[in-house]
Amino acid sequence: MKDQVRALERLLDVTRELTATVDLGPLLTKIVAVAAELTESEGASILLLDKQTGELRFRAAHGSSASSLADIPVPVEGSIAGTVLNSGNPVVVSDPRKDPRHYEQVGEQIDMDIRSLAAVPMHFKDQNIGVLEAVNKQEGVFTEQDIDMLLTLGSQAAVAVENARLVEELRQAYARLGELDRLKSDFIAIASHELRTPLGLILGYATLLRDQVGEAASHQMDVVVRAALRVKHIIETMLNLRYLETGELTLVCVPFDLCAEIRSACNAYRTLVESQGLTLSLHLPPHPLQICADRDKVRTILDNLLSNAVKFTPQGGHIWVLASGQQHTVKVTIADDGIGIPPEALGRIFERFEQVEHHMTRRHGGMGLGLSIVRGLVELHGGRIWAESEPEKGSHFTFILPIKPPIPAEETSKEE
């Protein structure tokens, strides 16, 4: 009875450690120590199958010769451990020296006389991933109880090994993702910088030529300039995103009237709004909404939200822009009664490259970067943005900005 309680206590110990650690080495060392203790053996060891070489290798050992076992390969064919691994059944051998399956080289290399041995498979899901062995029972022969104990410890060791393998796979996957992200970011930076110079030349000369050729080809030159401006906008969007991601984007804050900026942004969209048969209404307070913020970036936020409202609202639709001020914040809503966003997509639209329509079947242009930049810029100001929408009914995008910019961390510490 006392022995059973002790055994249970040890097994519980191992289980507790198994759930608390992802550090495989110490856990396996503990498992072999407990295996030797509970089966009253001179030593115990764990051999794991190396899938690349097809051999078994000692991964943890307990007993006087533990350290010399490290890295001794054991063939699967022609060893007791290999037999257990292949068959999935425990094996007890009272005198391994007389057993033809016994792989003598291990005993010889570590200079240990192996008189009795019990080996059980380490089973995980439908695979045997290794073998747990106990050697030289101090008194008598290995019992069924010993085998049960080893089987339980073997399963725990298998779970620990698999956990560690999964953690390692996850770590490698993260590292690969990080590398891909870095490559993508570098690509954006290089491509954008390389495109900027020739594009500057195209825009410069196209504008010059448009002025020189006069009426004759002014329409064609207009098309060239507009297309070049569009490419410029795409490059700026990609660079903005990169600077946001790398934390290189800083705020240049100036005091200005937010209502004036909203009016100016809306005016720039008037022609497009009218040409698409849309109505744009402004609901602004009668007094200025004075804020201190990065004016260009606030304009980028407004432009992106307005451009989306125009893009995703069919002919005859409405767009509303509302602004109001509180004691320390301003709130702006850009709403439309356009196509709306399905609930399952609403949570993702602020992510990079997220678009509700599939890019191959999309009817609307864009790169799916606008909203992620908008969110980045709002957050850079210490504000927040959210969207509410219903398919076929329309969308509301609302952002709140503090009327004063956040104090950067280094300046906060200076103030303290």
Q: How many CA atoms lie within 13 A of 267 on its CB side?
A: 6
With binding defined as CB under 6 A, does residue 66 bind ligand ADP? Answer: no
> Which segment (41-49, 254-262, 321-329, 338-346) binds ligand ADP by CB under 6 A?
338-346
User: From the CB of 348, what's the least distance to ligand ADP, in Å?
Assistant: 9
With binding defined as CB under 6 A, does residue 385 bind ligand ADP? Answer: no
Q: Which residue is nearest to ligand ADP (CB)?
A: 366
Q: Choose which of 367, 388, 404, 406 interacts with ligand ADP (CB under 6 A).
A: 367
Q: Choose which of 341, 378, 385, 400 interacts with ligand ADP (CB under 6 A).
A: 341
With binding defined as CB under 6 A, does residue 391 bind ligand ADP? Answer: no
Site map (CB under 6 A) of ligand ADP, residues 267-306, x = contact:
-------------------------------------x--
Rounded distance, CA 228 to CA 121, Å? 68
- Chain positions 210 to 249 lying near ligand ADP, rule: CB under 6 A, are none
Q: Are 147 and 119 in contact (CB under 8 A)?
A: no
With binding defined as CB under 6 A, does residue 333 bind ligand ADP? Answer: no
> Which segment (148-156, 247-255, 285-293, 331-339) binds ligand ADP by CB under 6 A?
331-339
Q: Are 48 and 57 in contact (CB under 8 A)?
A: yes
For residue 335, what are the CA distances in angstroms to 43, 279, 303, 305? 74, 12, 13, 9
With binding defined as CB under 6 A, does residue 356 bind ligand ADP? Answer: yes
Q: Choose which of 317, 338, 383, 405 interacts with ligand ADP (CB under 6 A).
A: 338
Closest CB to ligand ADP among residues 368, 382: 368
With binding defined as CB under 6 A, does residue 368 bind ligand ADP? Answer: yes
Q: Which residue has the tokens 């022995």?
A: 3
Q: Choose which of 37, 99, 354, 388 interacts with ligand ADP (CB under 6 A).
A: 354
The CA-CA-CA angle for residues 379, 388, 356, to 5°, reads 90
Closest CB to ligand ADP among residues 133, 336: 336
With binding defined as CB under 6 A, does residue 388 bind ligand ADP? Answer: no
Residue 162 CB partners (closer than 8 Å, separation 6+) = 124, 129
Residue 213 CB partners (closer than 8 Å, separation 6+) = 221
Handedness of CA 300, 303, 309, 311 (dihedral sign): negative
Closest CB to ligand ADP among residues 120, 374: 374
> Which segment (13-21, 102-110, 164-172, 364-372) binds ligand ADP by CB under 6 A?
364-372
Closest CB to ligand ADP among residues 159, 231: 231
With binding defined as CB under 6 A, does residue 405 bind ligand ADP? Answer: no
User: From the CB of 319, what's the least distance to ligand ADP, in Å?
Assistant: 9
User: From the CB of 365, what's the least distance to ligand ADP, in Å?
Assistant: 7
With binding defined as CB under 6 A, does residue 128 bind ligand ADP? Answer: no
User: From the CB of 290, what's the least distance to ligand ADP, in Å?
Assistant: 28
User: From the CB of 233, what's the least distance to ligand ADP, in Å?
Assistant: 11
Q: Are 41 and 140 in contact (CB under 8 A)?
A: no
Q: Are 273 and 310 in contact (CB under 8 A)?
A: yes
With binding defined as CB under 6 A, does residue 371 bind ligand ADP? Answer: yes
With binding defined as CB under 6 A, does residue 376 bind ligand ADP? Answer: no
With binding defined as CB under 6 A, does residue 370 bind ligand ADP? Answer: yes
User: From the CB of 374, what's the least distance to ligand ADP, in Å?
Assistant: 7
User: From the CB of 132, what's the least distance to ligand ADP, in Å?
Assistant: 54
**Size of the residue set binding ligand ADP (CB under 6 A):** 22
User: From the CB of 299, what's the least distance to ligand ADP, in Å?
Assistant: 15
Binding site for ligand ADP (CB under 6 A): 304, 308-309, 312, 336, 338-341, 349, 354-357, 366-372, 395
